[in-house]
Chains A and B, each alone.
Chain A
Amino acid sequence: MIRPPGNVARPSQEWSDFVRDLIRDALHGDEEKNVTGALEGAEPAGQPTPFYDPVKEPLEASEVPVPWPALSGTLRALSHLSEEERWEIADGARTTPAVRQSGEQLTGPDGQDLFGQDEYCEWSVERNDAGDIVRVTFTTEVGEWFKHLATTDPVGLLELYRELAGENVPESEVLAENGSYVGWNADMNTRTDGPIVHLAQGSNTLGAAISLAAEASILRTRDGSIVRDHKVLMRCTRLGNPDRFSDPSIASTINAAAATGARISLANPPGLYLAGIRTEGMRLPAGHEDLDPQELWIPERGSDGRVVRARFEAPDGAFPLSEVLLDGNPIRTGAQLAERVDVFIVALVHDAQTEPLTKACAS
């Protein structure tokens, strides 16, 4: 059975079925949902699918972690932005397109909207009355899990919301009268300050990651040659942004494994995970120099090395984070920390000698 991301709850058949449906749809498509599968147009027919359902086929496979940094590669690609500007934009552009202080909306090389928190990790910043940051909370929890809870355990969902975002969260911001989940668009999920609950940016979903993985398991051809350039591959699959750190990392790892004839899946439980924070160069304020900065990183949800939520704050709130220097700069934004936070998925690679499937690059 496929377990919940981060093993945050006991396994449930409904969730397992939901994720297996995502895998099936990503491979075979679903006309009713207007979803095209990765296998459409792939050759040769009759081969085992390179991307597989690990429940249906419990193959012996090695786990390959695929890491990337949490701070947006699309913003990093805009070399004319200063560090400070990039940090401020990232903090403020969680679910809305990134805008500079001058009002100029930032776009990618193809004119597409850019988002500051688009690497399957989002964060919220909490400040004290003086405006200093006291806590930054990072999450990789996918909205699909919360939607699942709305149908299987609405009482537990409301309790979880109140645990994560505060006791005063009204039920109406989580569940509609008919019991459907409305929390995805609720204030605590779209604002950039106050406690975050789960990923809310449109591309940061488990379904997106699974679709990308399935698509990337099919080699692409262009002008008769196999596409090996990761950015071109992203354009060929038309999934994800070539300038992000996450999507090309996932796609290129899976594509390279598929090219060797391997079969690929995502380790159970499939999800996006927080690897931790790199604290080299961090200086804590006077009186706290002996404290290991790693102690400020506090995992909140997830187990067995699969953390999905963590906060960064001084023990007992002993000092605001603005008194912490990172590379010589006081921490004034959550993005400075996000630059040091790593996110990962775990791919399963089953060594096989199957003939790789190919299809033409989307024009």
Chain B
Amino acid sequence: MACLGSRLLTCTRSAIIARVEATTPDTSDEPGPGCEAFHPDLVSAKTESLRRFFVGRDPEPQVIEEAEREEELNDAFAVELLRKGTFPATAEEVMARLDDAVGEGQPLSAATQRSFVVAEGSQIAKDPSRSFDRRFRFVVTRGQGRDGADLLLSAFDPKSTDIEVMAWDDRKGGFNYYRTIGGAPGSWVWAGNSRHAWEPLTRGSGPFEAHPAGHFIFKEFKFPWVHWQGPPARIDLLDFAKDDDRAAHAWFANSQGAYVLEPLAGLAIKRWNRRRIEQVRDSGQIDDPRQFMERFLGSPVLQRSTVNLVSSTTTNGELSDVERVNLPDTFFVDGDVLEGVLELERPDGLSVAADVYRDVLARFNVVVRNHDENHPLNGEAPFERPGDTHFVFVVPERAVEDTDFLRQILKPTPEDGESGLSAISQRLAACLLMVDFPNPVFSKRREQLLDHVQTEPLLAQAWPEFSETLGEKIAAAAAGESATEAEVEFAKLWEAGEDGWHDAAAKLLAAYYEKLGEQLKSPEGVEGVFMLAEARRRRVRRMPIAETALLFAQSNISFDEGIEEFVMKPAGTVERRKRA
């Protein structure tokens, strides 16, 4: 859940309206407005009510007829509360009303509750006299069954009236998205179901701006779970400003480490991917093959891009104590997919000298600051300290939801209820994913291959030939006069054949890893890597998941994203070049 606290809190009314008008879709492929569509200046609140508001489809909140409620809203949150006329006014009241509604021993009982805390402003100023906004958010879950949590709630404050809830609906499949709007007590809207992230009018709009594939968002999914409360970095009383009542609330006092949220989020992701693939199989067609293949190749549309964030396990504070700074390998290559899906090797323990990393931070004047061009202060107290984020080198990597989607399609676990999808072969997946492999996220070159994917629905009877057909189509284009680099790169591996692609890919990777290791030994190599990281961060800063300037450190590296780009080369060097 990433809508809450996104730019709607920092936008002026006129700016919001301008953006909403500018992004109102005139074609089915353009995302509509995002979370700002829920801004109180734009929608009317209605105390103690439940209405439907599918941004991109509904011009304003709509009455939900009883038949639609019965058909569509069969998650526990709706069944136990909303459909019975119970409309909690605050986040903590959601849980209290649930306790009233369900008995002990029930799947959503209080005993199944877990709470988690995240704050990008934690760790960096453990001093209650500093009054800047640490950006605390609480995630509270209910349900501990074999598919994990059935209800997930997000709020800035247990007493907040701005609430987001995701609740699993087993009958229709997917999570139903609910939120309050307008600040009126208990003014709830049903903002969509996970499946609406895949439908023309609603995709990339409303909640699906931040949840492009309909998943629960836990973007700092991996150890050390940067910004989250957990053993690697505990959030404690010193992280709260004086007089912040949230520090005394049970949701904080009983909060669990992000290591507990990680498997819960993983289960939520697997659950929706599994059901989504089932829905595709049952429907007998892939409605939009391009959107489907975006999960493999990335999306040129920012609102449909998905990434997670990962970091070093070294902290900024210990940079002067350690000799080496470990770097996440998924910054350099799509390690999780290579290893877990394609059975290729990932690099072994990448790191750089700590003194070189410190020099790079000094050279680029790296600071942690609570404001930037996308996140103005708006009257808040400013904060700035020199150096990198608490865990250094926070960078984007392939989103876990996409890695799991690929795995379920290519290497399903039938014992776990996964069914796979015959449309995509290992060979096709490998040849697509190995294009521009040193740039595992935001690869324009890989995105270009989407042009070869049909726009019309792909019927089930065509699935067995799809991989071969698409592979041959790209390979044929590579032989043409106007062949692109991506097509040529794809074709080289494709032509290695069913029996040869794996060894050919392994050789490319081994050569890259060796050269990369050499580059990381040189100050110039580390400097290039840092600039590449900064370029990727800047793209993330424009994504809806970037809710605060404190997400990343900032630097004085200057470049025009519209004109220039940084790319990692197979030689392990970073090239700064004009965009094609």
B-binding residues in A (CB < 8 A) = 67-69, 73, 76-80, 82, 109-110, 227-232, 235, 242-243, 245-246, 248-249, 252-253, 256-257, 259-260, 278-283, 293, 325, 327-328, 340, 342
- Per-residue 0/1 for B311-333: is the Cβ within 8 Å of any A Cβ (1 yes, 0 no)? 00111111001111010110000
- CB pair B313–A229 under 8 Å, yes or no, is no
Q: How far is the CA of A279 from the CA of B143 in the complex (A)?
A: 11
Task: Say yes or no for B364: interface residue by CB 8 A criterion.
Answer: no
Task: Say yes or no for B121: interface residue by CB 8 A criterion.
Answer: no
- Cβ-closest chain A residue relative to B340: A82
Chain A residues with Cβ under 8 A from B270's Cβ? Answer: 327-328
- Cβ-closest chain B residue relative to A64: B253
- CB pair A231–B260 under 8 Å, yes or no, is no
- CB pair B148–A280 under 8 Å, yes or no, is yes
Chain B residues with Cβ under 8 A from A278's Cβ? Answer: 144, 260, 263
Q: How far is the CB of A338 from chain B (nearest CB, A)?
A: 12
Q: How far is the CB of A265 from chain B (nearest CB, A)?
A: 18
Chain A residues with Cβ under 8 A from B315's Cβ? Answer: 229-232
Q: How far is the CB of A274 from chain B (nearest CB, A)?
A: 15
Q: Which of B231, B260, B317 has the most CB of A within 10 A?
A: B231
- CB pair B318–A327 under 8 Å, yes or no, is no
- Cβ-closest chain B residue relative to A65: B254
8 additional A-B residue pairs with CB within 8 Å, beyond A77-B326, A79-B328, A243-B313: A80-B329, A80-B348, A109-B323, A229-B390, A252-B236, A281-B267, A325-B413, A325-B415
Task: Say yes or no for B61: interface residue by CB 8 A criterion.
Answer: no
- CB pair B328–A253 under 8 Å, yes or no, is no
Q: Find B238's partner among A82, A228, A245, A280 (CB 8 Å cutoff).
A: A228
- CB pair B144–A280 under 8 Å, yes or no, is yes
- Cβ-closest chain A residue relative to B271: A281
Q: Find B267's partner among A257, A280, A342 (CB 8 Å cutoff).
A: A280
Q: How far is the CA of A87 from the CA of B231 in the complex (A)?
A: 19
Q: How far is the CA of A252 from the CA of B257 in the complex (A)?
A: 14
- CB pair B233–A281 under 8 Å, yes or no, is no
Task: Say yes or no for B40: interface residue by CB 8 A criterion.
Answer: no
A69/B231 contact (C-beta < 8 A), A110-B323, A231-B318, A278-B263 known: yes
Q: Which of B126, B348, B418 has the most CB of A within 10 A?
A: B126
- CB pair B126–A228 under 8 Å, yes or no, is yes
Chain A residues with Cβ under 8 A from B236's Cβ? Answer: 252-253, 256
Chain B residues with Cβ under 8 A from A82's Cβ? Answer: 339-340
- Cβ-closest chain A residue relative to B346: A80
- CB pair B144–A279 under 8 Å, yes or no, is yes
- CB pair A77–B223 under 8 Å, yes or no, is yes
Chain A residues with Cβ under 8 A from B237's Cβ? Answer: 256-257, 260
- Per-residue 0/1 for B113-136: is the Cβ within 8 Å of any A Cβ (1 yes, 0 no)? 000000000010010000000000
- CB pair B416–A253 under 8 Å, yes or no, is no
Q: How far is the CA of A279 from the CA of B234 in the complex (A)?
A: 24
Chain B residues with Cβ under 8 A from A246's Cβ? Answer: 231
- CB pair A232–B263 under 8 Å, yes or no, is no
Chain B residues with Cβ under 8 A from A245's Cβ? Answer: 231-232, 259
Q: How far is the CB of B150 from chain A (nearest CB, A)?
A: 11
Contact sample, A vs B, 18 pairs, CB 8 Å cutoff: A69-B257, A69-B259, A77-B326, A79-B223, A79-B328, A80-B346, A80-B348, A82-B340, A109-B314, A110-B322, A110-B323, A229-B315, A230-B233, A231-B318, A248-B234, A278-B144, A283-B146, A328-B415
A281/B148 contact (C-beta < 8 A), A69-B231, A73-B231, A110-B323 known: yes
Q: How far is the CB of A332 from chain B (nearest CB, A)?
A: 14
Q: Find A77's partner among B313, B317, B339 (CB 8 Å cutoff).
A: B313
Task: Say yes or no for B266: interface residue by CB 8 A criterion.
Answer: yes
Q: How far is the CB of A111 from chain B (nearest CB, A)?
A: 8
Task: Say yes or no for B379: interface residue by CB 8 A criterion.
Answer: no
A280/B145 contact (C-beta < 8 A), A256-B238, A328-B413 known: yes
- CB pair B317–A232 under 8 Å, yes or no, is yes
Task: Say yes or no for B403: interface residue by CB 8 A criterion.
Answer: no
Q: Find B318's partner among A73, A232, A280 (CB 8 Å cutoff).
A: A232
- Cβ-closest chain B residue relative to A255: B236
Chain A residues with Cβ under 8 A from B148's Cβ? Answer: 280-281
A109/B324 contact (C-beta < 8 A), A278-B260, A280-B263, A328-B413 known: yes
A-B pairs with the 5 shortest C-beta distances?
A: A229-B317, A256-B236, A245-B231, A228-B126, A328-B416
- CB pair B223–A325 under 8 Å, yes or no, is no
Chain A residues with Cβ under 8 A from B313's Cβ? Answer: 77, 79, 243
Q: How many chain B residues touch A (Cβ–Cβ < 8 Å)?
A: 52
Chain B residues with Cβ under 8 A from A227's Cβ? Answer: 317
- CB pair B264–A280 under 8 Å, yes or no, is yes
- Per-residue 0/1 for B191-227: is the Cβ within 8 Å of any A Cβ (1 yes, 0 no)? 0000000000000000000000000000000111000
- Cβ-closest chain B residue relative to A251: B234
Q: How far is the CB of A75 from chain B (nearest CB, A)?
A: 10
- Cβ-closest chain B residue relative to A342: B260
A231/B317 contact (C-beta < 8 A), A79-B223, A281-B148 known: yes
Task: Say yes or no for B256: interface residue by CB 8 A criterion.
Answer: yes
CB interface residues, B 439-464, toward A, < 8 Å: none
Q: How far is the CB of A285 from chain B (nearest CB, A)?
A: 9
- CB pair A229–B123 under 8 Å, yes or no, is yes
Chain A residues with Cβ under 8 A from B318's Cβ? Answer: 229, 231-232, 235, 242
- CB pair A327–B321 under 8 Å, yes or no, is no
- Cβ-closest chain A residue relative to B224: A77
Q: How far is the CB of A253 from chain B (nearest CB, A)?
A: 6
Task: Say yes or no for B300: interface residue by CB 8 A criterion.
Answer: no
- CB pair A79–B326 under 8 Å, yes or no, is yes
- Cβ-closest chain B residue relative to A323: B415
Q: How far is the CA of A317 from the CA of B350 in the complex (A)?
A: 44
- CB pair B260–A327 under 8 Å, yes or no, is no
- Cβ-closest chain B residue relative to A73: B231
Task: Say yes or no for B349: interface residue by CB 8 A criterion.
Answer: yes
- Cβ-closest chain A residue relative to B351: A109
Task: Say yes or no for B147: interface residue by CB 8 A criterion.
Answer: yes
- Cβ-closest chain A residue relative to B148: A280
Q: How far is the CA of A246 from the CA of B230 in the complex (A)?
A: 11
Chain A residues with Cβ under 8 A from B257's Cβ? Answer: 67-69
Q: Find B146's partner among A68, A228, A249, A281 (CB 8 Å cutoff).
A: A281
Q: How far is the CB of A289 from chain B (nearest CB, A)?
A: 9
Task: Say yes or no for B525: interface residue by CB 8 A criterion.
Answer: no
Q: How far is the CA of A109 from the CA of B231 in the complex (A)?
A: 18
Q: How far is the CA of A104 from the CA of B224 in the complex (A)?
A: 24
Task: Say yes or no for B347: interface residue by CB 8 A criterion.
Answer: yes
Q: How far is the CB of A192 from chain B (nearest CB, A)?
A: 23
Chain A residues with Cβ under 8 A from B123's Cβ? Answer: 228-229
- Cβ-closest chain B residue relative to A233: B317
Q: How far is the CA of A164 from the CA of B60 in the complex (A)?
A: 67
Chain A residues with Cβ under 8 A from B266's Cβ? Answer: 281, 327
- Cβ-closest chain A residue relative to B390: A229
Q: How far is the CB of B225 from chain A (nearest CB, A)?
A: 11
- CB pair B263–A248 under 8 Å, yes or no, is no
Q: How far is the CA of A242 from the CA of B319 in the complex (A)?
A: 13
Q: How far is the CA of A293 from the CA of B259 in the complex (A)?
A: 20
Q: How far is the CB of A239 from chain B (nearest CB, A)?
A: 15
Q: How far is the CA of A331 from the CA of B290 in the complex (A)?
A: 38
- Cβ-closest chain A residue relative to B347: A80
Chain B residues with Cβ under 8 A from A109's Cβ? Answer: 314, 322-324, 326
CB interface residues, B 399-436, toward A, < 8 Å: 413, 415-416, 418
Chain B residues with Cβ under 8 A from A279's Cβ? Answer: 144
Q: How far is the CB of B467 from chain A (nearest CB, A)?
A: 24
Q: How far is the CA of A164 from the CA of B317 in the complex (A)?
A: 45
Q: How far is the CA of A64 from the CA of B258 in the complex (A)?
A: 18
Q: How far is the CB of B273 from chain A (nearest CB, A)?
A: 12
Q: How far is the CA of A109 from the CA of B232 in the complex (A)?
A: 15
Q: How far is the CB of B120 from chain A (nearest CB, A)?
A: 16
Chain B residues with Cβ under 8 A from A77's Cβ? Answer: 223-224, 313, 326
A253/B234 contact (C-beta < 8 A), A231-B317, A232-B318 known: yes
Chain A residues with Cβ under 8 A from B316's Cβ? Answer: 229
- Cβ-closest chain B residue relative to A246: B231
Chain B residues with Cβ under 8 A from A256's Cβ? Answer: 126, 234, 236-238
Chain B residues with Cβ under 8 A from A243's Cβ? Answer: 313
